[in-house]
Amino acid sequence: MDAKVALDTMWVLITAMLVFFMNLGFAMVEAGFARMKNCVNILSKNFVVFAVSSLGFLVLGWGLMFGDGTPFIGLKGLFFASGIDNSPAVGAAYQGVYSAISWTGVPLWSKFFFQLVFCGTAATIVSGAVAERIKYKSFIVFSFILTMFIYPIVGHWIWGGGWLALKGMFDFAGSTVVHSVGGWAALAGVLVLGPRFGKYSNGKINPIPGHNMSIATLGTFVLWFGWFGFNPGSTMAADPVAIGHIAMTTNTAAAAAIMSATIFSWILLGKPDLGMTLNGCLAGLVAITAPCAFVSIPTSIVIGLISGILVVLAVIFFDRVKIDDPVGALSVHLVNGIFGTICVGLFAQDKITGVATGNGLFYGGGMKLLSTQLAGVLSVGMFTFVISLIVWGIIKATMGIRVSLQEEIEGLDIGEHGNSAYPEFLGRKPAYSFLGLKDGE
């Protein structure tokens, strides 16, 4: 095997393993932000969702996403990755677009595994937003549909040589393909589910704090670390100039977002809220994911600073409109996935990593790229949200989507799994004084 092919293959696989490791980060963040009585349920969902993604993407998802077909869907070799490989490393629609990055023949299954872990990330985003009240089996069914149909179809439009790619849309590592898709699917689920019991009562927003901020902090560090596979790995080749640049834009945006989210929440809330700081980090990472290869290091600071403020405002907004998101997934992945995709149209520069993109609006490029990015955001949002809403509605009508009120009060760990993350506290129940209930009732 050619030495460069071997090196590229190792790079693709190592970065894919880093992205796989992000499953641990998501599990820890979501478990930390959830209550003790739902910890097993959160961990189990995050564990099983990658198995679901692995099977769904293998059986059908890859074919729909990368199989040769129409500008809207892959049609050839749909099952078990058996058709023509139209992945970004070889697809004719992408050659010339990423011309400066030498994409040679990385083996199919290496590329498959790299794309699989991205698919799994989109699915696990949904888990946190619907936490603490969804039926376990209903979440599994939706995850299969998301990874087999919804995610691959959108992925085909942008990464599989589809109509948005042909139109000139850029999403280097997935602010839209991964994060916005997961966010739109999560929003549809949250609307069908409704808020957690006790979250909004008597016209008030009742805070429901997570049970373990230590775990949530460790999980955020894991995600930050994994993002150095997520973004630099999307070069799909061991290109030293591109990898170094992307690693720097990724880290710089995260750092800037941490500071802006911390300071802004401090101003609004009177204290530097750790939850906002953690979600600020993730917001910066999501926002830089699409433009990481196309913007300068100073520009990544600007993107990070804005995303950190956006995530704080979004958390407050969703609470005020009574859209209950226990972990802030919508604020992080949906809002900043949209923002990051738009940033390509605003800030992209030619030949930052040797990749010719056409200039963004702020670099004299006019409105063309920005309008293309906006068209991508709107079309992906409409498709994903509407289809997800239909799927959630069918699940609700056929097998049910929400646990009983008693099970929600007692905790999903016992009701759904017959288990407890903290057995020494088994049998204790939280007080709901506004209902006249006491501990233990």
Residue 305 lies in a domain: yes
- Condensed to tens digits (0 to 9), the pLDDT of residues 293-345 reads 999 999 999 999 999 999 999 999 999 999 999 999 999 999 999 999 999 99
As a whole number, the mean pLDDT across the chain is 88
Sign of CA dihedral 384, 390, 396, 398: negative
Q: Is residue 441 part of a domain?
A: no
> Domain range spanning residue 268?
3-398
Backbone angles phi, psi at 105, to 5 degrees: -85, 65
Q: What angle do CA 431, 434, 435 make, to 5 degrees?
A: 80
Please check whether residue 360 lies inside any domain of the structure: yes
Number of domains in the chain: 1
Which of 129-138, 217-226, 413-422 is the least confident region? 413-422
Q: Does 324 reside within a domain? A: yes
Using alpha carbons only, what angle is made at residue 181 by residues 175 and 184, rounded to the nearest 5 degrees?
120
Residue 168 above 60 pLDDT?
A: yes
Domain contains 420: no
Give tens-digit pLDDT for 188-246: 999 999 999 988 988 888 889 999 999 999 999 999 999 999 999 998 888 888 999 99
Handedness of CA 219, 220, 225, 226 (dihedral sign): positive
CATH number of the domain encompassing residue 394: 1.10.3430.10
Determine the Cα–Cα distance for residues 415 and 86; give it in Å rounded to an integer: 45
pTM for this prediction:
0.90
Q: What is the pLDDT of residue 426?
A: 54
Residue pLDDT, tens place only, 177-188: 999 999 999 999
For 395-408, write each residue's pLDDT tens digit.
Answer: 999 999 999 998 98
